[in-house]
Structure 1
Amino acid sequence: MENIKIFKMDDYSWYAAHNLMEFLNWYNKHIDSIQTPDDLSELEIIEPEDGTMWSNKNITQEDVETLGDADEICRGGIGDLKRHDGDIFKMQTFADVLGDEDIKEPYEIASTE
């Protein structure tokens, strides 16, 4: 996961990329054109260790047992658990979700849609 950053373009999507230029080129080509500086007005760059997301990766047997029959166990931070459409999700840092993975090209790592 060396030198990967998380890029937030709006309130809905987070992307993983090695650097700003790689992300902007990929975003412009695959997601939406960037034509004016205003198109980047909401851009945030987040260190993977500093941002969190719900993920169904890295779910342990202990997580399954902790959640039990409940729909969610939320204390307001990392390690919170919830069940959605039969799957279990845990609040984790982007770094935990990425693990040791090195990405070949940028991609959407999380979305609220």
Structure 2
Amino acid sequence: LTVFFQKKMGAGFFGGEGFIMQKLSGRGMAFLEIDGSAVEYDLAPGQQLIVDTGNLAMMDETCSIDIQSVKGVKNVLFGGEGMFNTVVTGPGHVVLQTMPLSAFAGSIASVLPSKS
């Protein structure tokens, strides 16, 4: 497990995870925790996958990541996804999580005890 520094400025500032990412390498088995279900994609060279920033769980180092702004005022205000999307470009394997951390926190907040 090492630290990987995101080199693209847009992805670093607006990607939700910042400039610093974790890089897992070597031989063996790794156990990771993601929220929701894992949805896997194998991208061909140049093929792109556009996702909400919080849904990207992991990707091969052969993939590249960039951030693109959501077009249109209505999409930004009423789309529910925020102002930016993550664009992952292949080749490589990509794993998405179906419930980003913000949605997970919201789902358990309703069952947590509150002060009376």
User: By the TM > 0.5 criterion, same fold?
Assistant: no
TM-score (normalised: structure 2): 0.21
TM-score (normalised: structure 1): 0.21
Larger RCO (CA within 8 A; separation ≥ 6): 1
Higher strand share: 2
